[in-house]
Amino acid sequence: MLGSDSDLADPILLAPRPPAADRAPEQRDTLDRFLDGICRTVGALAGCLIPHDDRAMGAIIRPCGFTARNDEARAALRVLLRVEVELSRRGYGWVRDAGAPDYRGLAVETPMQHGAGHLLLLFARDQLEEDEVIVQVLALAPGLGAMAGAMHEVTVDLALAERRHRALAAALRQSECGTILVRADHSVLYANPAAQTILDEADGMELRRNLLRPERYQDVVRFQAALDAVIAPPIHARSGRSRSLMMLLERSGAQRPLIAVIAPTGCTSGDELEGFDQGEAAAIVYLMRPECRAAQGLEAICHLHGLSPVETQLVSHLVSGLPLGETAAQMRIKPDTARTYLKQVFAKTDTHRQSDLLQLMLRYQRAVRGDFHFESA
């Protein structure tokens, strides 16, 4: 085998380059580590994976994975990266350049889902003096190229999934509704900032041993039963539409109850329960405080409708729940003047009643999320 002591000996012991005293350890992603394993398998000193992008027209070479035993091998591989690669019918070709006379590169075709590419492995010239070694390397090359291409696709898919995950997490962070993902064993998997605030303040719901616990004991029993009903519904209830459960949870003091909604994730119905992963989200718990407060972005919404600053101030007071008379007092204007402004607002927003105006503003405010400074565009 290529890995025996009688073949390539020392070059097989491919060790990662130790960081210098004044340099932080190199960050290596999954594909870099995978290429490191390929290099160890064949005794290569360095390696990289290069996807072919027809849009780049060959003008720019961007390795998407890179590993090297030492700085000298790294420099030699970069020299060979500039050499035009010609692959044989068997899917490989040797790469040489006067800028790295002591090294040879082996380019191996790597089929990929979205095009093609090649794997470039670097060897010292004296490693390839024996024909038997070359035969062994070329025998392994097609399989290594196929694995590298498949690994590239996996890393691309993982990177895409990670970007989607970050985008979804950002959307949840901006939501003013507390959102909690719960596992099948009722433990908490994720809580967005709005939910975390409620749990930290123990405002009708708290977190104990990573389990959600309502403030009152009576609510604890009802809440746990509701979670079970959503996560593992009875067999007779599994057919048809999935159901969500809503309940009110008492809070300390004279505050209105906390609103809790328990909804299924859509992944725990029917036979899927038998093989359900305990680490996955099994239910979604929404927590909402009933306190009425004006949402962000109202000024921008009013500006989009062409409202003046005074009219915007009027709408802001009305949305906060003040009647027109108290709004006029807050603005230090006469009630008749407030009515005149309100009629102007009706005309600009194409509404005819105060209730219609408030509903319109509240509907638009549903799109306003997050701690940002909103402006009309």
Q: What is the pLDDT of residues 2-36, one digit of tens each?
A: 333 333 323 322 233 333 333 333 446 788 888 89
Asked if the structure places residue 376 within a domain, the reply is no
Shared domain for 188 and 113, answered yes or no, is no
The 10s digit of each residue's pLDDT in 261-294 is: 999 987 644 444 444 455 688 999 999 888 755 5
Report the alpha-carbon distance of residue 20 to residue 22 in Å, rounded: 5
Residue 11 lies inside a defined structural domain of this protein: no
- Judge if 365 and 330 occupy the same domain: yes
Last residue of a domain, one of 117, 139, 171: 171
Q: Are residues 141 and 57 in the same domain?
A: yes
| pLDDT tens for each residue of 185-200 | 999 999 999 999 999 9
Whether 283 and 321 map to the same domain: the answer is no
**Do 284 and 195 sit in the same domain of this protein?**
yes
Within a domain: 7: no
Residue whose token pair is 């989200």: 281
Range of the domain at 96: 24-171
Q: Are residues 140 and 81 in the same domain?
A: yes
pLDDT value, residue 310 = 94
Indicate whether 153 and 183 sit together in one domain.
no
- Which pLDDT does position 344 carry in this prediction? 95
Q: Is residue 18 part of a domain?
A: no
Domain end position, chosen among 171, 194, 222: 171
Query: How would you label 224-240 residue by residue, b for 16+ Cβ within 10 Å and e otherwise?
Result: eebbebbbbbeeeeeee
Average pLDDT over residues 331-337: 94
Structure tokens at 133: 């070694």
Mean pLDDT of the region 204-230 = 93
Name which of 51-65, 144-158, 205-219, 304-318 the model is least confident about: 51-65
Q: In whole numbers, what is the pLDDT of the chain averaged over residues? A: 80
Tokens 């239910």 locate to 283
Total number of domains in the chain: 3
Does 9 map to a domain? Answer: no
Of the chain, the percentage scoring pLDDT greater than 90 comes to 42
Boundary residue ending a domain (138, 171, 204): 171
Q: Are residues 167 and 182 in the same domain?
A: no
What's the mean pLDDT in 306-328? 92
In terms of pLDDT, which residue wins out, 16 or 173? 173
Same domain, 38 and 141: yes
pLDDT at 315: 93
Residue-level pLDDT at 53 = 58
Residue that wins the pLDDT comparison between 21 and 105: 105
Which pLDDT band, with edges at 50, 70 and 90, does 65 fall under? confident
Q: Report if residue 1 sits inside a domain.
A: no
Q: Both 35 and 52 in a single domain?
A: yes
CATH at 217: 3.30.450.20
Residue 39 resides in a domain: yes
In a domain, 2, yes or no: no
- The CATH number linked to 302 is 1.10.10.10
CATH code where residue 68 lies: 3.30.450.40
Two structure tokens written together for 123:
């060897």
Residue 238 confidence class, pLDDT cut points 50, 70, 90: low
pLDDT of amino acid 54: 47
Return the minimum-mean-pLDDT range out of 24-28, 70-74, 140-144, 366-370. Answer: 24-28
127-146 pLDDT per residue, tens: 888 888 888 888 888 888 88
Mean pLDDT is highest, among 169-178, 234-243, 339-348, for 339-348
pLDDT of residue 2: 36
Range of lowest pLDDT (45-54, 81-90, 261-270, 295-304): 261-270
Which residues have CB under 8 Å from 27's CB, separation 6+? none
Residue (of 141, 111, 110, 109) closest to 123 by Cα position: 141
Do 32 and 132 share a structural domain? yes
Q: Are residues 307 and 225 in the same domain?
A: no
